[in-house]
Chain A
Amino acid sequence: MSGYLIILVGAVLVNNFVLSRFLGCCPFLGVSKRTETALGMSGAVIFVMTVASAVSWCIDHWLLKPNDLDYIHTLAFILVIAALVQFIDIAMKRFLPPLHAALGIFLPLITTNCAVLGVAEINFKQQTGFGEAVFFSFAAAVGFSLALVIFSGIREKLEHADPPRCFRGVAIALVTGGLLSLAFMGFSGLVKLPY
Chain B
Amino acid sequence: MITAIVCIAGIGLVASFVLAVADKYLSVQEDPRIGLVLSELPGANCGGCGFAGCDAYARALVEGTAPNGACPAGGEAVAAKIAGILGVEASATEKRVALVKCCGTRSEAIRVGDYNGICDCNVAAMTAGGDKGCVYGCLGYGACANVCPKGAISIYDGLAKVDKRLCIGCGKCVSVCPKKLIELVPSSATIHVLCNNPDKGPSVRKVCGVGCMGCHLCEKNSGGKEAGHFTFQGFLAKVNYSNPPTDEQIVAKCPAKCMSVDPLLESGH
User: Which residues of A are in contact with B by a Cβ distance under 8 Å?
Assistant: 59, 63-64, 67-69, 71-72, 75-76, 79-80, 82-84, 86-87, 90-91, 93-95, 97
Question: Closest residue to A64 on the B side, CB-wise?
Answer: B7
Pair B4/A72 contact, Cβ less than 8 Å: yes
Question: Closest residue to B11 on the A side, CB-wise?
Answer: A79
Is the contact region of chain B dominated by helix, strand, or loop, or is it mixed? Answer: helix
Pair A83/B26 contact, Cβ less than 8 Å: no
Pair B28/A83 contact, Cβ less than 8 Å: no
- Residues in chain A near residue B27, CB distance under 8 A: 90, 93-94
Question: Closest residue to B7 on the A side, CB-wise?
Answer: A69
Pair A67/B11 contact, Cβ less than 8 Å: no
Q: How far is the CA of A184 from the CA of B16 in the complex (A)?
A: 41
Q: Quick check: is B118 within 8 A (CB to CB) of the other chain?
A: no
Cross-interface CB contact of B7 among A76, A83, A86, cutoff 8 Å: A76
Q: How far is the CA of A68 from the CA of B12 in the complex (A)?
A: 19
- Residues in chain A near residue B3, CB distance under 8 A: 67-69
B208 to chain A, nearest CB (A): 37
User: Which residues of B are in contact with A by a Cβ distance under 8 Å?
Assistant: 3-4, 7-8, 11-12, 15-16, 18-19, 22-23, 26-28
Is the contact region of chain A dominated by helix, strand, or loop, or is it mixed? Answer: helix
Pair B7/A72 contact, Cβ less than 8 Å: yes
Q: How far is the CA of A68 from the CA of B4 in the complex (A)?
A: 9
Answer whether A91 and B8 are a contact pair too, CB < 8 Å, given A79-B15, A80-B15, A83-B15: no
- Residues in chain A near residue B4, CB distance under 8 A: 69, 71-72
Pair B7/A90 contact, Cβ less than 8 Å: no
Pair A80/B11 contact, Cβ less than 8 Å: yes
Please give me the 10 A-B residue pairs with the lowest Cβ-Cβ distance, nearest first.
A83-B15, A94-B26, A90-B22, A90-B26, A72-B4, A67-B3, A79-B11, A93-B28, A69-B4, A87-B22
- Residues in chain B near residue A83, CB distance under 8 A: 15-16, 18-19
